[in-house]
Structure 1
């Protein structure tokens, strides 16, 4: 249940910084500010105007800090409640002391994501936009940020709203037939209903189909570099990162553990995992590294199978190829600057990219091939690009699609008219789960609990 009390939290990261911000939201916000803030000069707090002054303990008169304070009167605020934000010096102690004073003055400590939850409950944003706010904060590339911003701006919500309108139109038509059976509904109206539902189904399918791309842009992908010792895996890692992260020597088996680093490949967040060279060894430490390498292959989104193009394909290469099996894979023929002696076995259908980590030849093509594996040429930074990026959204849209498809099939089959609204209402409820119109309280709690405190 939504309790309209007043909440407060620190909205800036913990630690030392230029400024710290304490956010307060609720009906007592203005009164709390007036109790603890002493403005320099005349006049009271004016909405959406910064005031300069000091935060003072009302009982002792002690000055806690020199601050700037802004009061935002409802409904023109982030939460659509009265909001106060206090900007003080960014020290851990001073920020904590001011927050404690705000709590003493009548607020309570906010729960994770409670400010954004109030914005949702007060109708300022829907649930898609609320989740997108957290995606904006956690974005790691320009492409993932662009996708999150489009969702935050309501572009995905607009497409879902259009689907919902088509369903409501169909429901109104069916209910009119039920309520007025003696009236002849124009055949053109029925065709109009079918004409609206068909594009809605196509739109649902398009959003569902775009989930995989949206998910990888939001969450990123894991790419394992696999190969036998000294084929150039660590050199490739350093090349893709554009820094020396892994030790590279002529001694086989230098990499003993899995090295993980994140790189931005044309807007795609990619977690690269450089693994130990896979070969038979009597060294117990190297054996453990090989075991970890073989463990990581099935869990990866993509495997870069690195081979030495200047040497013949070996039994160790064959072991790695067998471990990859049907996993998504790109064969990387390294050392392309040397004479080629490596013949891949028959039946290898994975894309092959020739590179040289020494000269840089082929590396741009490899980057493009990795990106192309997950993102198929969409202009993800364009104003028009919208995609579903949460599994929760995808699952709800699939439910809506199935219910709407049943309605279409039942309508065409001449099923009892009184049964048709059931599928339409199920579809509407499923779509409502995405935007928050019909989302259960426990789901809302789970979503907002993943937010940081103060947001």
Structure 2
């Protein structure tokens, strides 16, 4: 438990029907008792846990009523932070919320740091570190799928796998250390085979988790998708079709789009940050030239490139030049205007397309858009389950930690293959065990903990 009591506004900034000021710490109930006047004459200290009471918040010095409010008292350890917690539910304007927060600070609270309520929940043992990180993933979820992933992590889907791996590592370490402590007992081939099998099994589990990292990051942060091509091939029409709104201006005049246009769209649960770019072509127009350069820059940073071609017009050098931007990149090639007479067929670009998927569509006629969505889903999931169930690695920190674990396990495997002393194997296995603990927070340093929670919003 902490010595001080903290408070903060726990709801988003701006006007709303309800706003919440949250107080946590040993003096939370005492502070609320100074400010809250129940219509039935009860103080916060008189309320039963999880019993809401209606009344007013009053400035104890001036005796001026600030706002009507409900308060909810939660006693330790049955609260979010495992401390005494009081929530004051008032009207959602910034003025009453700020005034009530100021009163809590004048009554002995300290303003909470970003993420400090969740940090206390972690340090008090209610959540492990991966679950605490999942709290922000829940708040920032962009789709139902990303929300489901975050909720699974909050419920402990990743934590359970990490604990199971650490427990298995501990068993291997204990077995080998017993051999070291009792050298007169030679390690038998069966014991060594079990250790090899255990390390191999753990490496496979880590590989499986790491294989979800790219998909997990996309489901959490969104797939950066850039639409490119020469002018008038249908890039803006595709953006409008996916957004289901007339977001970009569409005309028959080449060069209508001179700057990038960005929109967020959800494709079957996958969040896309969709960018429509200026048509790539040589131009003397200064503004359009800047737009073309920006299109090239956005393409170099994108997770997915959608290249559009117009099948109703002959292939030009401009079309072929754009293919150079696809080298070693994830891309989909769309042959647009399939409802018009074709002047070339897919074979004409087979060498340029290489391994990329090629789809025939007519954006204006709405033909083939379902195939585009199918291909996006296929690229994102790469054969993995699409339900969002189980543990997906959504954090760069978790992915880097698992790569370090894999290196330690590889070291243990190599030490056994080289018939090195058992001590060397134990060192690598113990390093893997300690590194895994960084995901759950069991072995993480205070500086990393502070850095993680600093990214949270105040009041959470």
Asked if these proteins are the same fold (TM beyond 0.5), I'd say yes
Task: Give the Cα–Cα distance (whole angstroms) in 2 for the partners of residues 40 and 393 of structure 1.
Answer: 50
Name the SS for the 2:402 alignment partner. helix
In the alignment, does 2:450 pair up with 1:426?
Answer: no
In the TM superposition, what is the alpha-carbon distance from 1:187 to its structure 2 partner? 5.1
Q: 2:140 aligns with which of 123, 138, 141?
A: 138
In the alignment, does 2:282 pair up with 1:277?
Answer: no
Task: Give the Cα–Cα distance (whole angstroms) in 2 for the partners of residues 156 and 320 of structure 1.
Answer: 42
In the TM superposition, what is the alpha-carbon distance from 1:192 to its structure 2 partner? 3.7
In the TM superposition, what is the alpha-carbon distance from 1:3 to its structure 2 partner? 4.7
TM-score norm. by structure 2 comes to 0.95
User: Which segments of 5 or more consecutive residues in structure 2 lack a partner in the other structure?
Assistant: none
- Structure 1 partner of 2:398: 393
- Structure 1 partner of 2:264: 262
- Structure 1 partner of 2:373: 367
> Contact between 2:70 and 2:89, CA under 8 Å: does it hold in 1?
yes
Task: Give the Cα–Cα distance (whole angstroms) in 2 for the partners of residues 419 and 331 of structure 1.
Answer: 52
> Contact between 2:9 and 2:21, CA under 8 Å: does it hold in 1?
yes
Residues 85-128 of structure 1: per-residue CA shift (max 9 Å, x gap): 00011111111000000011110000000000000111111111
Output aligned runs, 1:373-452, within 5 Å.
373-381=379-387, 384-452=389-457
- Structure 1 partner of 2:214: 212
TM-score norm. by structure 1 comes to 0.96
Task: Give the Cα–Cα distance (whole angstroms) in 1 for the partners of residues 111 and 185 of structure 2.
Answer: 60
In the TM superposition, what is the alpha-carbon distance from 1:182 to its structure 2 partner? 2.5
1:191–1:317 distance in 2 versus 1, CA, 3 Å:
same
- Structure 1 partner of 2:251: 249
In the TM superposition, what is the alpha-carbon distance from 1:188 to its structure 2 partner? 4.3
Output aligned runs, 1:59-208, within 5 Å.
59-183=61-185, 188-208=190-210
Task: Give the Cα–Cα distance (whole angstroms) in 2 for the partners of residues 127 and 380 of structure 1.
Answer: 26
Task: Give the Cα–Cα distance (whole angstroms) in 2 for the partners of residues 104 and 269 of structure 1.
Answer: 44
- Structure 2 partner of 1:4: 3
Name the SS for the 1:18 alignment partner. coil
Task: Give the Cα–Cα distance (whole angstroms) in 2 for the partners of residues 449 and 86 of structure 1.
Answer: 24
Residues 205-257 of structure 1: per-residue CA shift (max 9 Å, x gap): 11112111111111111111111111111111111111100001111111111
Name the SS for the 2:306 alignment partner. strand
- Structure 2 partner of 1:345: 349
Residues 382-422 of structure 1: per-residue CA shift (max 9 Å, x gap): 5x432111111111111112212222332344322333321
- Structure 2 partner of 1:29: 28
Name the SS for the 2:40 alignment partner. coil
In the alignment, does 2:20 pair up with 1:16?
Answer: no
- Structure 1 partner of 2:303: 301
User: Which segments of 5 or more consecutive residues in structure 1 lack a partner in the other structure?
Assistant: none
In the TM superposition, what is the alpha-carbon distance from 1:184 to its structure 2 partner? 5.2
> Contact between 2:412 and 2:424, CA under 8 Å: does it hold in 1?
no
Task: Give the Cα–Cα distance (whole angstroms) in 2 for the partners of residues 41 and 189 of structure 1.
Answer: 71
> Contact between 1:147 and 1:380, CA under 8 Å: does it hold in 2?
no
Task: Give the Cα–Cα distance (whole angstroms) in 2 for the partners of residues 87 and 169 of structure 1.
Answer: 50
> Contact between 1:298 and 1:324, CA under 8 Å: does it hold in 2?
no
Which of 404-413 and 431-440 deviates more?
404-413
